[in-house]
Structure 1
Amino acid sequence: MKVIAYGASTSSRSINKALATYAANQIEGADVTVLDLNDYPVPMFSEDKEREIGHAEGAQAFLDDIASAEALVISFAEHNGHYPAAYKNLFDWATRIDNQVFRNIPAIYLATSPGQGGAQSSLSAAVTSAPFFAGNVVGSLSVPSFYDNFDLEKGQMINPELDKEVKAVVNKLKA
């Protein structure tokens, strides 16, 4: 199974990218490709800019990479209760090319943050809006207090209960 994973963040130290990478690699036998949103540069979206340049090349490349997947593992960062502006901007450009961004590919949606909220607001928004963009969310999970539950150096979950939850949610991709 070809799995595309990414954190909806452009941070070079993205905890959401770390979580998505870990989760995707729990899928036995999966061929995992981890995307870095910094590889898809797009200008700030506006209708004026769209008239000027047409489709943003970075957004088309993002759509092309997603289309190659048989499964998606996405972890949504949260800034002040919403998606990070850089992710939202790339997503907006992508929807102008193809509103069915996620192409009904089975997906696991995750979210994490350093705090106890675990980026639940952005995860909820992502799950709720997914059907409008051909999102096929088969499971979702919020991971609170990331640094208390995940070892970034080792790239693994250190909380056994949360580790079971992550493995259980990604196993839904096999069904």
Structure 2
Amino acid sequence: MTQLKLLGLCGSLRKGSYNRKLMREAAAAFGEAAFSEADLNLPLYNGDDEDAHGIPAAVQTLFDQIAEADAVIVASPEYNKGPSGVLKNALDWVSRVKGNPWKGKPVAIMSAASGRAGGERAQVILRSFLTPFRPRLLLGPEIAVAGTEKEFDGNGQLAGELYRKNLGILMRDLRAELVDWEHG
């Protein structure tokens, strides 16, 4: 069997964001796979620019990465009770490319936020954003890391046993989706 391809989308552009750390922790928990992080630093979607210049190369790259991935991890911060504009913009751009790289793709969603809900509201909205693309969204266990400053250690790793345990279960289930899909 060829090596699995796992793609991570982080809704924060900050290199040291807690969501990026969480996404990397998830990739490690997923186990053996070729993991890559998508670059969501895309121009804002503008239909006039699309008409004049077509699909930007960075958007086509993102589309191709999603299409080639066996599974996708999406880590979203919560900004003003919803997912980041960066993530929404990326989804809007991908929808403009011919085809649907998300269809049937196993996707795990997670979030990390400094507040006590851990980005839970952002996840609910993000699921509705992804639904039209028809991926195979895993429903749980939900990973919403609250109080991020206390939940990650100095090495950027999850410190809490419960979060690590549930993240391991979610990644095990994401891997199982690939096996079930192949043999289903």
Could you tell me whether the CA contact under 8 Å between 2:10 and 2:87 is conserved in 1? Answer: no
Q: Which moved more, 1:94-103 or 1:111-120?
A: 94-103
* Alignment match, 2:162: 161
Displacement after TM superposition at 1:101 (Å): 4.3
Superimposed CA distance per residue, residues 19-55 of structure 1 (whole angstroms, 9 cap, x where no aligned partner): 01111111122222223323xx32x222222212122
Q: Distance in 1 between matches of 2:98 and 2:115?
A: 34
Q: Which moved more, 1:6-15 or 1:156-165?
A: 6-15
Could you tell me whether the CA contact under 8 Å between 2:118 and 2:147 is conserved in 1? Answer: yes
Superimposed CA distance per residue, residues 84-142 of structure 1 (whole angstroms, 9 cap, x where no aligned partner): 22222222111111463423211111011111111112111112332211221124421
Displacement after TM superposition at 1:163 (Å): 1.0
Letter in 2 for 1:25: A
SS at match of 1:75: strand
Which of 10, 18, 21 is residue 18 of structure 1 equivalent to?
21
CA RMSD of aligned residues (A): 1.8
Superimposed CA distance per residue, residues 136-175 of structure 1 (whole angstroms, 9 cap, x where no aligned partner): 1124421111121112x32311111111111111110122
Q: Which moved more, 1:18-27 or 1:79-88?
A: 79-88
Identity of aligned residues (%): 23
* Alignment match, 1:102: 102
Letter in 1 for 2:126: A
Which of 131, 146, 149 is residue 148 of structure 2 equivalent to?
146
Which structure 2 segments of 5+ residues have no match?
177-184
* Alignment match, 1:65: 65
* Alignment match, 1:132: 132
Q: Which moved more, 1:114-123 or 1:90-99?
A: 90-99
SS at match of 1:26: helix
Could you tell me whether the CA contact under 8 Å between 2:78 and 2:122 is conserved in 1? Answer: yes
Q: TM-score, normalised by structure 2?
A: 0.84
Q: Distance in 1 between matches of 2:98 and 2:27?
A: 25
